[in-house]
Amino acid sequence: MELLCIRQWISGLLPTVKKWLSAWCIKPVGGALVRQEPEYILLALMGSPLKKIMLCSSEKEIFSVEEQVMVQHSVIINNMIEDGSYNHEESKIPLDCVDSKTLKKVIDYCTHHTHHHNDNQEDLEAWDAQFLNVDSNGLYDLLMAANYLEIRNLLDLIYGTIKNMIKGKKIDEIRRIFNIKDHGFTPEEEEQNRKEYPHFY
């Protein structure tokens, strides 16, 4: 069937099946409950005519995601597809720098922001806050992945979070949050610093 026919057929079906499909639409994705749009579920059932690309994590797990979603967010993936080094029929994009858990989260972020870009600001911010509700190691993994894939808005989000973790806190507190056990100053230097800037400690 041609893509156009499928779309027409689906839009014809939708009003009647939307109700019973909505029961199927709640799906855990990356630790958060996310509503999947019914159209996409149906398309998935039909055998996705939307252009998909395959991302392969460092653990060799393959994730299928809409090309449009990744191209919109990741400069690296956009470049790879543009310069023709990605062949849709056979290749997958190997992302040896990103493990499966992190890659799944990154894909969630990009997918959510593409499909929900029309949502109001508060809802998006709430979703982002929930998304970044991870421990320090998780934050690091996300930062490195976002940096590698060059996803500007995710990077800004993560830096914003780190900034909030630092701003206004005492140094001992910051060291605790980021697990810094060996700060590198000699005992004399540390003592001198504490004497000179007592309000920071």
Partner 1 sequence: MRGHDWINTCLPDELVVEIFRRLDSKRSRDACSLVSIRIGATGSPDLFVHLLSTRFSNVTNVHIDERLSISLPVHLQGRRRGVENSSASSLKLNYLNVNNGSEEGDLDSLCLSDVGLAALGDGFPKLEKLSLIWCSNVTSDGLASLAQKCSSLKALDLQGCYVGDQGLSAVGQCCKQLEDLNLRFCEGLTDKGLIELALGVGKSLKSLGVAACAKITDSSMEAVGSHCISLETLSLDSEFIHNQGVLAVAEGCPQLKVLKLQCINVTDDALEAVGASCLSLELLALYSFQRFTDKGLCAIGNGCKKLRNLTLSDCYFLSDKGLESIATGCKELTHLEINGCHNIGTLGIESVGRSCQRLTELSLLYCQRIGDVGLLQVGEGCKFLQALHLVDCSNLGDAAMRGIAIGCSNLKKLHIRRCYEIGTKGIVAVGEHCKSLTDLSIRFCDRVGDEALIAIADGCSLHYLNVSGCHQIGDAGVIAIARGCPQLCYLDVSVLQNLGDLAMAELGENCPLLKEIVLSHCRQITDVGLAHLVKRCTMLESCHMVYCSGITSAGVATVVSSCPNIKKVLVEKWKVSQRTKRRAGSIISYLCVDL
Residues binding partner 1 (CB under 8 A): 58, 76, 79-80, 83, 93-99, 136-137, 140, 143-144, 147-148, 155, 159-160, 162-163, 166-171, 174-175, 178-186, 189, 193, 197, 200
CB of 104 to partner 1, least distance (A): 16
Closer Cβ to partner 1, 83 or 90, answer by number: 83
With beta carbons less than 8 A apart as the criterion, state whether 68 and 114 touch: yes
Closer Cβ to partner 1, 24 or 200, answer by number: 200
Q: Beta strand pairing status for 62-66 and 32-35?
A: unpaired
Nearest in space to 93 (alpha carbons), one of 72, 76, 115: 76
Closer Cβ to partner 1, 9 or 200, answer by number: 200
Closer Cβ to partner 1, 122 or 188, answer by number: 188
Closer Cβ to partner 1, 51 or 170, answer by number: 170
Beta strands in the chain (DSSP E): 26-29, 32-35, 52-56, 62-66, 93-94
CB of 163 to partner 1, least distance (A): 5
CB of 176 to partner 1, least distance (A): 10
Q: Beta strand pairing status for 32-35 and 52-56?
A: unpaired
CB of 56 to partner 1, least distance (A): 11
CB of 178 to partner 1, least distance (A): 5
Question: For the chain, how long is the longest CA-to-CA vector?
Answer: 76
DSSP secondary structure of 96-146: TTS-HHHHHHHHHHHHHHHHTTTS-HHHHHHHHHHHT---HHHHHHHHHHH
